[in-house]
Structure 1
Amino acid sequence: MEESSRKWAVISVAGILALGMILSSLIVSNSMVKLKMANNTITVTGSAKQQIKSDLSVWTGNFTTQSPQLSTAFNQIKSDQQKIKDYLKNQGINEKDMVFSSINTEVRYATLPNGQYSTQVEGYRLHQQVEIRSPDVDKITELSRQTTDLINQGVEFQSNPPQYFYTKIADMKVKMLSLATKDAMVRAEQIASNAGSRVGALRAARMGVFQITPLYSNEVSDYGINDTSSLEKEITAVMNCEFEIKR
């Protein structure tokens, strides 16, 4: 009886080991299948570039006046505002397109001999800004360079560089993504052809960030660039695509 028990124990251990080997073989086989399927794709980055010209410009100018008396300073800045309106009208700008900010008042205190400020008011300095938005980008570009002529009229005026925007960027992005995807497919086909394979269906696609840069610029950013300083720009789209590879 004892010898019979030993035989069954040996058979049971052998059976367990055999079953373990079979299961291990199935697991390894399954892993190899998955690995083979995982390697049956190719990931390629495609890109597309397009030159664009801005169709909206935003220009701002700042003007300032100061006087020992607040009322005098206020009257002066209102007079300067009217001079600016008249000047811009003569340049072909409609008054409804001129946006004047609220007047900012800065109190100037007298300086003591030790360099510290006293509580005595020395005068008032008033600041105001004018803004113009226009689709006539060429006119605004020229205007931004000429408005310093207001200085000859006694206006303490500073012209800021215009900002340039492209208002159809949403539609452009759709077109650019399509072109970038086609470029990725061409690249994938070239790589697959060299390996004696062909490209199948698109498995996955991930859009990269858009880069809107001045013409001929090589600048890029992980967060994307949206240049507003240049009238002529270049937009770049990137797509990371995963394609099925067929033997």
Structure 2
Amino acid sequence: MKNVSQLVLATMVLGISFIVCTLLFGTFLKARSRANQTINVTGSAKRDIVADLGILRGNLQASGASAEQAYQQLQQQRPVLINYLKSQGFAEAAINQNTINLNPVYELSKQGFPSNIILSYTASQMIDVQSKDVKKLKAISLDITSLVEKGVNFSVSPPEYYYTRLADLKVEIQADAAKDALNRARKIAEATGSDLGPITTARMGVIQITPVNSNMISDYGINDVSSIDKEITAVVSASFRLE
């Protein structure tokens, strides 16, 4: 009888030990599994910006039977253009005149290839103007072609609009995107009954600068210069450990 009691006691002790070991091992595996768990989130931030610098570029052109005549024609047109820009409130220092180019125009053969026969000459000069008054610059870009009525052949390109404080803004908006990623990670951790651990990896995405309400996106980033009102968007991808 004594031996039976001892056997029962030993069996009970062994059984309890087995249960305890199983629970401890399960707790260890669960803790180890939780330690290896991470969540990946993407945070984003967006701000509206308004261009504070505009550039208007155009090509002044003239032609003549000789290089001298083409050059003289260009010289006659240029003062009319410069005076127009000055009358619109642009200082002469804001008007940039580039080198004059003189090029021959060759007669084409029946096959469509240039021959050695010169028909005429063209003279061209790139002229651009900069202004912080971007709205005025836009208005002038729509009106300046009217100079053709005064004999001025000026081919204007669409204005370019820039935000000059972009370097500082990029740092700020990337920080906002990182904060958004952290908030998303916290909400996910709370929803799963976990505690958010330290960040393990973080990667900054490219900056997208697009017109307002645009859905344009590029893997290499976008830097829109066609619009005055823009949106700047930053994205941050981050991984956090769960505890």
- The TM-score range, normalised by the shorter chain, is 0.7 to 0.9
Pairing 1:123-138 to 2, within 5 Å after superposition: 123-138=120-135
Determine helix, strand or coil for the equivalent of 1:62: strand
Q: Does residue 219 in structure 1 map to residue 195 in structure 2?
A: no
Pairing 1:178-197 to 2, within 5 Å after superposition: 178-197=175-194
Partner residue of 2:36 out of 35, 38, 43: 38
| Distance across 2 between alignment mates of 1:116 and 1:205 | 58
| Distance across 2 between alignment mates of 1:244 and 1:159 | 56
Determine helix, strand or coil for the equivalent of 1:102: strand
Query: Which residue of 1 is the match for residue 203 of structure 2?
Result: 206
Pairing 1:149-160 to 2, within 5 Å after superposition: 149-160=146-157
Shift of 1:33: 8.2
Cα RMSD for the two superposed structures: 2.1
| Contact 1:46–1:182, Cα closer than 8 Å, also in 2 | yes
Query: Which residue of 2 is the match for residue 10 of structure 1?
Result: none
Q: Does residue 147 in structure 1 map to residue 144 in structure 2?
A: yes
| Distance across 2 between alignment mates of 1:43 and 1:123 | 66
The 1:200/1:87 distance shift into structure 2, 3 A limit, reads same
| Contact 2:39–2:242, Cα closer than 8 Å, also in 1 | yes
Q: Does residue 73 in structure 1 map to residue 70 in structure 2?
A: yes
| Distance across 2 between alignment mates of 1:113 and 1:223 | 45
Partner residue of 2:165 out of 155, 165, 168: 168
Determine helix, strand or coil for the equivalent of 1:155: coil
| Distance across 1 between alignment mates of 2:191 and 2:181 | 16
Can you list the C-alpha shifts for 1:89-145, whole angstroms capped at 9, x where unaligned? Answer: 111111111111111112012345675544232210111111112211111111111
Query: Which residue of 1 is the match for residue 17 of structure 2?
Result: none
| Contact 2:71–2:102, Cα closer than 8 Å, also in 1 | no
Partner residue of 1:87 out of 72, 84, 87: 84
Give the share of equivalent positions with the same residue, in percent. 40
Shift of 1:191: 1.0
Which consecutive unaligned segments of at least 5 residues does structure 2 have?
A: 1-28
| Contact 1:69–1:123, Cα closer than 8 Å, also in 2 | yes
Partner residue of 1:98 out of 77, 85, 95: 95
Can you list the C-alpha shifts for 1:166-197, whole angstroms capped at 9, x where unaligned? Answer: 11111111111111111111111111111111
| Contact 1:145–1:159, Cα closer than 8 Å, also in 2 | no
The worse-fitting range, judged by mean Cα deviation, of 64-73 and 107-116 is 107-116
The 1:186/1:125 distance shift into structure 2, 3 A limit, reads same
Shift of 1:234: 0.5
Task: Report the AA paired with residue 133 of structure 2.
Answer: D
Which consecutive unaligned segments of at least 5 residues does structure 1 have?
A: 1-30
The worse-fitting range, judged by mean Cα deviation, of 137-146 and 113-122 is 113-122
Task: Report the AA paired with residue 222 of structure 2.
Answer: I
Shift of 1:37: 3.0
Aligned residues: 216
